[in-house]
Amino acid sequence: MQLKRLENPIKYCKICFKKISDYSLHYLFCKNNDLCEECFTKFQPKFINFKINEVKAMSLYEYDETLKDLIFKYKGCFDIELKSVFTSRYLLYLKLKYFGYKIVTIPSYITEDRIRGFNHVEEIAKLLNLPMLTVLEKTEKIKQADLGYKDRQKIGNILNIKNKETIYNQKILLMDDICTTGASLKAASKLILECKPKKLQIFTIAKNVMKRTQ
């Protein structure tokens, strides 16, 4: 019996839709990548380490124009196919770094998820193949982009935590897409810390880095 030779399926870049060449070094070392070589080079990982409420935090990228445009297309234009482009090259690293953790995501207001058809942070979090806890909820619809710095710091007033017992003595990874002022992460981490987790860390896709003026 002659076995039929299996050929590699054709893959297309999820950003520019060009065919990903299977004759390049980029393809050889990034077989699970959803980006062509040109689009891949637009991502400049920074692995930014910082702290929120004395909790260790890391952002994969600086929130530049490339990330701003892609996150808008993913989150604002409901393009769920883009969910994997932010972490695909670094999934193994992230899985090893946060091995043994359970993920808690910063929530959207429930009607926003229904309109979009998915929760944008949860879809990215699922790629890490870690257990997820649905414990945080937003009680009002507020668009933080429309708020000033002082008003953003009041975000804790509309965040609620439930099923607190599922957090106790667990290693928790708090996730969000962007860290701007850090208001949501501060409020959420405070609520989680009150539930006495074994450990808490924070991870975001991008961070808005303030440029120093001379």
Q: How far is CA 106 from CA 14, 43, 63, in A?
A: 25, 24, 18
Cα-Cα end-to-end distance for the chain: 74
Given a cut of 80, whether residue 43 has pLDDT beyond it is: yes
Given a cut of 70, whether residue 8 has pLDDT beyond it is: no
Query: In this predicted structure, what is the pLDDT of residue 24?
Result: 54
CA gap 112, 35 in Å, rounded: 28
Model's pTM, two decimal places? 0.85
Query: In this predicted structure, what is the pLDDT of residue 190?
Result: 95
CB 129 within 8 A of CB 98: no
How many alpha carbons lie under 13 Å from residue 57 in its C-beta half-sphere? 23
Q: Which residue has the higher pLDDT, 147 or 37?
A: 37
Is 97 buried (19+), middle (13-18) or exposed (0-12) by CB count in 10 A?
middle
Query: Residue 129: CB partners within 8 Å, gap ≥ 6?
Result: 95
> What is the DSSP secondary structure assignment for residue 13, as one 8-state letter?
-
Query: In this predicted structure, what is the pLDDT of residue 155?
Result: 62
How sure is the predictor about 145, in pLDDT bands with cuts at 50, 70 and 90?
low
Query: In this predicted structure, what is the pLDDT of residue 32?
Result: 57
Query: In this predicted structure, what is the pLDDT of residue 67?
Result: 92
Q: Which residue has the higher pLDDT, 169 or 2?
A: 169
Given a cut of 80, whether residue 146 has pLDDT beyond it is: no
> What is the DSSP secondary structure assignment for residue 147, as one 8-state letter?
S
Q: What is the mean pLDDT of the chain?
A: 85
Given a cut of 50, whether residue 3 has pLDDT beyond it is: no
Q: Quick one: average pLDDT of 151-168?
A: 79
Burial letters for 110-138: b for 16+ Cβ neighbours within 10 Å, e otherwise? eeeeeebeebbbbbbbeebebeebebbeb
pLDDT digits (tens, 9 = 90+) for 68-119: 999 999 999 999 999 999 998 889 999 999 999 999 999 988 888 899 999 9
Six-digit token pair at 184? 């949501």
> How large is the C-alpha radius of gyration of the chain?
19
